Structure 1
């Protein structure tokens, strides 16, 4: 039992140390990026700094929980039948929803590429309403495009094929 205690202790502290270490690595990279820019106000370093601070704080909070005796154990799956094989159709549909917009965004624009991504991923999770999914995806990605454009972040044209 004495020989497994250090291994168990390392395993318990592994998650907080990994998260905090990732936060420190991100903060180190953030030090080389500008926090502000003249035209947008917020530079690329601002978001990297924010993510690094959140990761470091999260690592500290997890470490505090481990020090208090909390155990992080895998939870049982919710409603998943582990005896069934993986759905390759669902997996490939979701993968298409992730990778297809990469090729579409420069031709169709961010909103349409986002709508296609949303429709594919919802289909992979069992939705049977493709037109409604496309409409919801178009609404969300259009709002996202306008919000980021207002912040000065360029996501490409709204609809490049239409000249917008």
Structure 2
């Protein structure tokens, strides 16, 4: 065998992986564009409302460039995984869960839409324990909702569940103060 036969073949361009990196770079561009639209008061000295969006954008840019570099070097999947067929049924449940959240957050509220999404995504990943998934989804959704609503003052979609809990919390706080 000659030395040219022993040299490794150049890595193939991993097109799907490249598309993911380019898509993530586009997301970073969207974050930058939307962050530029945030009004910033001159009263902010160093840390204003755009700091975390810009940090997120920088992280997305770095990650996307690393993904693009990996794609140019042949991708990040091991060879044995490249031959694994896509489980379209599982993928379908994950996509349906994400779409359900998008469509149901307005009429049902953040918590209910998140529980439905969580259960569908868990099922897509193979879980058969729907009740456990719903309870975990409820706990995570309530933590996220009240973290945004109470701690940050950002309404991310109050619905029936959130309104009832807010009424109970406000009544409890009123009792403590009164």
Aligned-residue offset at 1:100: 0.8
Return the alpha-carbon distance in structure 2 between the equivalents of residues 81 and 24 of structure 1: 31
Note if contact 1:93-1:123 (Cα within 8 Å) is conserved in structure 2.
yes
Q: 2:58 aligns with which of 47, 53, 56?
A: 53
Rg (Cα) greater in structure: 2
Q: Which moved more, 1:26-35 or 1:108-117?
A: 26-35
Structure 2 vs 1, CA of residues 79 and 108 (structure 1 numbering), >3 Å: closer, same or farther? same
* TM-score (norm. length: structure 1): 0.62
Aligned-residue offset at 1:96: 1.2
Aligned residues: 143
Return the alpha-carbon distance in structure 1 between the equivalents of residues 26 and 82 of structure 2: 31
Aligned-residue offset at 1:47: 3.5
Tell me which residue corresponds to 2:108. 108
Q: Structure 1: which 5+ residue stretches go unaligned?
A: 1-7
Equivalences for 1:10-159 in 2 at 5 Å?
A: 25=29, 29=33, 30-35=35-40, 43=49, 45-56=50-61, 62=66, 73-76=75-78, 82=84, 84=85, 86-149=86-149, 150-159=151-160
Q: Structure 2: which 5+ residue stretches go unaligned?
A: 1-9, 167-178
Return the alpha-carbon distance in structure 2 between the equivalents of residues 96 and 27 of structure 1: 25
Let me know the Cα RMSD of the aligned residues. Answer: 4.3
- Local SS of the residue matching 2:105: helix
* TM-score (norm. length: structure 2): 0.58
Structure 2 vs 1, CA of residues 154 and 91 (structure 1 numbering), >3 Å: closer, same or farther? same
Aligned-residue offset at 1:127: 0.3
Return the alpha-carbon distance in structure 2 between the equivalents of residues 22 and 42 of structure 1: 24
Return the alpha-carbon distance in structure 1 between the equivalents of residues 51 and 122 of structure 2: 32
- Local SS of the residue matching 1:156: coil
Structure 2 vs 1, CA of residues 148 and 42 (structure 1 numbering), >3 Å: closer, same or farther? farther
- Local SS of the residue matching 1:138: helix
Note if contact 1:35-1:42 (Cα within 8 Å) is conserved in structure 2.
yes
Deviation string, structure 1 residues 12-38 (Cα, Å, up to 9, x no partner):
xxx7x969x7698467523342346x9
